[in-house]
Structure 1
Amino acid sequence: MIKKHLVHLCLSAVCASALWGCGGSGDSPDDQSVTSPFNSFDSVSSVTLSADGPKAGLSAYDLIENVFAAGSIEAPDMYPTDHTEAVHIVKDSDNMVGPHFVFLAHKVLDFNKGVESDRQRNQIKTYDKSPTALKGYQGETMQFSWKFKISNELELSKKFSHFFQLKAKNFSQDNSKGFNADGTSTSDIYLIKADWSSITDEWLNITVQATFAEEGAFYMQISRMQDNAILVDINEPVMDMWRGVSSEDFVRPKWGIYRSLADGDSLRSEEEQVRFADFVVEKGTAAD
C-alpha cells in the first residue's frame, strides 16, 4: 500500500489483489493514455548515490555519507545500545544492475536507533546537514529515482513496513498541517493498493516526482526492469505536500527498512535483505 503522510511506500501482504486507484487517482498499469508528468520535468540539479564493487572501493557507509552527509545513516550498528555486532548496509553486485546496496534486518536483534521498542529501523536519509540540493523547500519540484528489489520470502508486518518515505522536517514542531479539515489524519488516505507478489523477486525502477506546496503534486511510477512493464502508476496533480511554517522547513527522503514489531509473530526469524541501487535526487521545474 502507498499512503499519504506526506508519502510512505508501505507494502502490505494483506492486499490479496491489485486495487488500482484505491483512495486516489492512481491509473491502472494498463492505462497508458495519460502523458507522463516525468517527461515535462526539467532538471536543474542532480545528485547520485551509487555503490561500487562489493570487494573494491569505499565501504557502503562511506559512500552514503560522502553524498548524503555524515549522520545520514540510521542503521542499528551506528548506535552503541543497538545491534553493533553486524554491519547492516553492505555492497553486492549482480548481472541485472551491477553494484548495489543491501539493507539487512534482524527480527530479534535490531532496535530503533538504539532504543528497544515496538519497531525497528535500518534507513538512510537526507536531513538538515545534507546539501541543499537534497532537500525540498516550499514551492520546489523534485524527482527521486532508484532501483529496488525485494524477496517474496520477506515477511511484512501487518502494522507497517516502510521502504521509502518523504518526511516533513518542521523546525517549529507544529504538526497542525498533518490533519484534514474534519480532524482526521492525512495518513488515513491510501493512494493505491497492489498485489505484493507483483513486485517481488524482480529489480524495479522507481521514480517519484513531488511539488512541495499546499496545493502540490505527487506522481509515482514503478516499472519492472526486465520488460519495462508498469506495475504502479500514481497521478495526483493536486495534493497537499507541505507542512512547513517557515523558510527553514523542508521535506527529505528516506530509504531502507522501517517496520513494526507489534505483530512480531508475523515476521520471520531469518535475516531479511532489501536491495537498492542508483539513488538519484534532482531539483527542477515541471510544466503546469
Structure 2
Amino acid sequence: MSTSRRALLGAALGGAAGAALGLPVAGTAHAVSWQQRWAPSASRDGLGAFETVEDDRANSHPGGQPHIYATVDNWRFNMHTVDRDTSTDRQRQEVTGLRTGSSSYLKWTEGQTWRITYSMYIPASLKATTTFTHIMQMKQPGTGTLPIVVQSLRRVNGVQTIELKLAIDDILVGRTDLEPLHDKWTDVDFQIKVGNGSAGSVRWILKSGSATVVDKSKTGVDTFLADRVRPKWGIYRSLGDTSGSLQDTYLLLKNLRGYQLV
C-alpha cells in the first residue's frame, strides 16, 4: 500500500482516533490495514456463522422457539414478554463469536485491534428501558463474566437513547436519540483495540442512510479482563423497567463483517 493510500485510510477513519487505534496516518511508513476475517451469509451459514447460540437456554417458552434464526438475508432475534433467562429477572436471546469453520472461530486477544461492521433494524417495539437493554456486548467468555463494552437502549430523563459504554469503568463513549432510528436500517461500525488497564481504545460509528448519527472514540481505556474478548449480539434486557416499555419485539442484523488490523 502506498504512503498516500495509507494516509487516506488514516484520514478516512478519523485522524487522532485512527492513530490511537493503531491506524496509519500521514507521514508514516507503517503499512497496516484492515484485513477481512469474517463475512458470513445468513442464507449460506445460518446460525453456523456464530460460535454459540443462546436461544431460550432456560427453556422458558418452547412455543416461541426458535427465537433466533436466519432468513434469506438477515438474522432475526425474537423476544416475547414471557421469555426468561436462567436468571429469571432478565431475558436473553443472543449469539456469540465469529465462527470461520465447523471447529474454528476468531479469537480477539490482548494487543490486537478488531473492527465489526453490520446493519441493524430496530423496530419501534424494541424500546429503550430504565434498566439495561443490551443489543451488542463485548465479553470475556465464560459463565458469570462481566461485560467489557455494551451497546444499549437506555431511557435518559425519559428520552429513548442508544449508547455505547465501557462497562468495566462505566465510561460513556457516546449516546444519541433512538426514536429517529426506529423502523429503519442503521449501519454500525465498531472498532476495539484489546488492551489491559489504559492500553485499550474503542470507536463507535452509527450511520442512518448517508448521515453519520454518531462518531465517538475513547482511548487510554480498559478493554480486556482475561483470556479473550468475544462479541455478542441479540436482545438481553432486564425485567426491572419502570417505563412500561417491555413488549413482544425483535431485532434484525445483516451484512456482518469482521476485520483485523494487521
Q: Would the TM-score normalized by the shorter structure come out above 0.5? A: yes
Task: For CA contacts below 8 A with separation 6 or more, give which structure has more relative contact order.
Answer: 1
Aligned-residue Cα RMSD (Å) equals 3.3
Find the aligned partners of 2:34 and 2:142 in 1 and give their Cα distance.
26
2:121 paired residue number: 149
TM-score by length of 1: 0.65
State the Cα deviation string for residues 127-167 of structure 1 (Å, max 9, x = none). Answer: 89996652210111111111101012323331011000111
CA apart distance, 1:34: 4.4
Measured at CA, do residues 235 and 102 of structure 1 come closer, stay the same or move farther in structure 2, by a change above 3 Å?
A: same
Q: In the alignment, is residue 216 of structure 1 matched against residue 194 of structure 2?
A: no
**TM superposition shift of 1:90:** 3.3
1:68 Cα deviation from its structure 2 partner: 2.4
Q: How many residues are paired up?
A: 218
1:50 partnered with 2:34: no
The residue that corresponds to 2:54 in the other structure is: 74
Runs of 4+ in structure 1 off by over 3 angstroms are: 32-36, 38-41, 90-93, 127-133
Residues 104 and 44 from structure 1, CA distance in 2 versus in 1: closer, same or farther, beyond 3 angstroms? same
Q: Within the alignment, does 1:64 sit opposite 2:47 as a pair?
A: yes
Instruction: Say whether 1:206 aligns with 2:188.
Output: yes
- C-alpha distance in 2, partners of 1:170/1:85? 28
Aligned to 2:231: 253
Whether the 8 Å contact between 2:234 and 2:251 is mirrored in structure 1 is yes
Distance in 2, matches of 1:130 and 1:239, equals: 34
Are the equivalent residues in 1 in contact too, given 2:108–2:228 (CA < 8 A)?
yes
Question: What are structure 2's unaligned runs of at least 5 residues?
Answer: 1-11, 25-31, 150-166
Residue of structure 1 equivalent to 2:175: 193
Partners of 2:39 and 2:135 in 1: CA distance: 19
Q: CA deviation at 1:262?
A: 1.5
Say if 1:33 and 1:117 are closer, same or farther in 2 by CA, change over 3 A.
Answer: closer
Identity of aligned residues (%): 23
TM (norm. structure 2) is 0.71
Q: What is the distance in 1 between the residues matched to 2:60 and 2:254?
A: 26
Q: Is the 8 A contact 1:170 1:250 kept in 2?
A: no
Instruction: Name the structure where strand makes up a greater proportion of residues.
Output: 2
Find the aligned partners of 1:138 and 1:117 in 2 and give their Cα distance.
Answer: 33
Q: Distance in 1 between matches of 2:190 and 2:145?
A: 26
Change (3 A) 1:101 1:142: same
Q: Cα deviations across residues 160-196 of structure 1 (Å, max 9, x unaligned)?
A: 110001112379x898x99xxxxxx834322222111
Matched residue, 2:62: 84
